[in-house]
Amino acid sequence: MKEDPGLFDYWPYDNRPKIEWPGGARVAFWVAPNIEFYELDPAVNPHRKAWPRPVPDINGYGTRDYGNRVGHMRMMRVLDKYGVRGSISLSTALCAHHPEIIELCKERDWEFFSHGIYNTRYTYGMDEAQERSMIVDAMNTIKEHTGQQCSGYLAPALTHTETTMSLFAEAGGIYTCDLFHDDQPTPVKVRGGQKFISVPYSLEMNDTIAYAVNRIEPRRYGEMIRANFDRLYEEGRESGVVMCVPLHAYQVSHPHRLKAFEEALEYITGHPDVWVTTGREIAQHFIDNYYDAAVADIDAKAA
Amino acid sequence: MPLDPGYFDYPHRSYGMDHDFYDWSMLADRKPVEWPGNARVALWINVALQYFPLNQEGQPFPPVAGMTTSYPDLRHYTLREYGNRVGIFRLLKAFDRYGVIPTFAVNTRLAERYPYLMNKICVRGDEVICHGWDMDTPHYGGIDAGEEAKLVKKSLRGLREITGQPVEGWIGPSKSQSMETPQLLVKNGVKYMCDWINDDMPYPFRTDAGPIIAMPLSTELEDRFIMHHNLHSETEYAEQMIDAFDFLYKEAAEQGGRMLALSVHPWMLGQPHRIGKFEQVLEHITGHDGVWSAGAGEIAAAWAKQQD
């Protein structure tokens, strides 16, 4: 184990090279629906239990299945209404289980990125060959079912090894959603030296963190999203920032919750200088235009 | 040591679910449901009458909202008993004031202990469903099959004898099940169960002993979940119930009948400072046309009649 993940150097949010988003937008805004499949009786990982109760833990399982049966269509209607294309954090086994959902997302030109194969298969304990094979399996599944080259990664259930980022970059990925250290895209060091970056994917704005971990009220969730946006929109006058709202249809789409999110989305998309986009488009724009300047500035500030 | 190679086998990675209990289906794709009187929302208010034994064993997991201190946990024992003695009567008055029909999910052990309360409910004529034996007797993966079969039989038989009702609905204590629970319920004459929370509408569920209806009783909308687990205020509880109703009422206008399943606990909502907020919720809901308040069994039957 290491004291520091070795993925990035300290880079103060102060006098950085200015980022300009397309159309002069101040905020690159993206919504990342997690479309997940949790198994009722998954293979056992010695490092993490899948469910608190003995199998079948129908509470945990049913909670997640609600998202696919009920929540997905509700969330999709709201995103459609405000012209938001989702960037899907996908349990890629869902391509086999629920292809109808994949088709609906394809019709809308949503982005698919990898969230592993199942959200009940954890990376802990995998050796390098095993993790590579899991990463490649998931990316190939996306290619096969959607035609898209997978660009981004959110590790399944946020379980990692020390080499996760390098393995994903070697497999052709360009961005990770697993790091929560910044409000702008930042270079991530991988052993192969690929131009690989972190695109901010906020845990603070994540509905599961808000509802299931922090246990907040739905209307407050809407207020938090708006406050987060207001401050970033203000700061974005100086240099472009990123705002992400990660969603789970099994949380946000409950009948007592969806309206609060919808109102927040209406608020954000009602502002003129917002680039409503996807994770891949943000990553590509940053890599093409700012990656080299960012690395130079990080090096200069470390010196 | 890498992981066992079996960790990379995915035996159920194919169309549909990873088990045989029910088919994969999206709510928005289903044939719209029509409730009696063309109601938009079927209102199912499920009142849990629960007995939490003081000598709780908590195996293999403690009951939701059970004892937490060292024995004897008089604090939690009496907070829960408050509901059965006091809170329930506030709820009954509220139901009658707003003309809503509750369903009572009763631990059979409670029914044995409190004949006065059971008589009161039976005279009212509201539906009683079985909430298992007591709160410290869960169903779970690994339970001895013979023991669970006896437990299901004992719980249902006892409640049927006390109430004189057919008792055709079931909720396991803490919504707990083993893989065998659904088929044991079918074998014992249960027509619907409320433990699976993966939908907003009834849906067909299969067992080796024949079909059963899954009647999802939302946990997210439960009074206990919102105020006891999430620690939201009673005002915020009422806001969430009203938002949920408004949402389903609107969705029903576009997609067919919806069900609002409100799970309530007399030990929670029956407190003097909370009951008024619940009354506000009932006032809001019953102030709308197109609300059908009915017992869970009636709602399940109305749904079942429309299935092929």
- The pLDDT of B58-65, averaged and rounded, is 97
- The pLDDT of B255-282, averaged and rounded, is 98
| pLDDT tens readout for residues B138-160 | 999 999 999 999 999 999 999 99
Instruction: Flag whether B5 is in a domain.
Output: no
Taking only residues 40 to 99 of chain A, the set having a beta carbon closer than 8 angstroms to any beta carbon of chain B reads 40-41, 43, 45-46, 52-56, 58-59, 61-66, 68-70, 72-74, 93, 96-99
Residue A184 has pLDDT above 90, yes or no: yes
Q: Residue B169 belongs to what domain range?
A: 42-304
- The pLDDT of A37-57, averaged and rounded, is 97
Instruction: Flag whether B18 is in a domain.
Output: no
Instruction: Flag whether B208 is in a domain.
Output: yes
Cβ proximity of B28 and B255 under 8 Å? yes
Q: Measuring CA to CA, how many Å separate B277 from each of A271, B227, B266?
A: 37, 12, 13
Task: Give the pLDDT band of residue B1 (cuts 50, 70, 90).
Answer: confident
B222 to chain A: nearest residue by CA? A256
pLDDT for res A227: 98
Count up the domains in chain B and report the number. Answer: 1
Of A93, A133, A259, the CB nearest to B10: A93
Q: A with B: how many residue pairs have Cβ under 8 Å apart?
A: 151
- The pLDDT of A277-298, averaged and rounded, is 98
Of A100, A215, A256, the CB nearest to B26: A100
Taking only residues 111 to 130 of chain A, the set having a beta carbon closer than 8 angstroms to any beta carbon of chain B reads 117-118, 121, 125-127, 129-130
Instruction: Flag whether B288 is in a domain.
Output: yes
pLDDT for res A99: 98
| CATH number, residue B162 | 3.20.20.370
pLDDT for res A45: 98
Task: Give the pLDDT band of residue A303 (cuts 50, 70, 90).
Answer: confident
| pLDDT tens readout for residues A131-154 | 999 999 999 999 999 999 999 999
Q: Measuring CA to CA, how many Å separate A135 from each of A131, A141, A196, B66, B121?
A: 6, 10, 16, 43, 58
Residue A162 has pLDDT above 80, yes or no: yes
Mutate to test the interface with A, among B140, B143, B178, B198 (most CBs of A within 10 A): B198
Mutate to test the interface with B, among A35, A45, A64, A69 (most CBs of B within 10 A): A69
What's the CATH fold of domain A23-302? TIM Barrel (3.20.20)
Query: Mean pLDDT score of chain B, rounded to an integer?
Result: 98
pLDDT for res A287: 98
pLDDT for res A61: 98
Q: Which residues of A touch B40 (CB under 8 A)?
A: none
| pLDDT tens readout for residues B180-231 | 999 999 999 999 999 999 999 999 999 999 999 999 999 999 999 999 999 9
Residue B308 has pLDDT above 90, yes or no: no
Cβ proximity of B256 and B39 under 8 Å? no
Instruction: Flag whether B266 is in a domain.
Output: yes
pLDDT for res A196: 98
Residue B16 has pLDDT above 90, yes or no: yes
| pLDDT tens readout for residues A208-262 | 999 999 999 999 999 999 999 999 999 999 999 999 999 999 999 999 999 999 9
Q: Is A104 on the interface with B (CB under 8 A)?
A: no
Task: Give the pLDDT band of residue B112 (cuts 50, 70, 90).
Answer: very high
- One-letter identity of residue A291: Y
pLDDT for res B49: 98
CB contact under 8 A, A54 and B140: yes
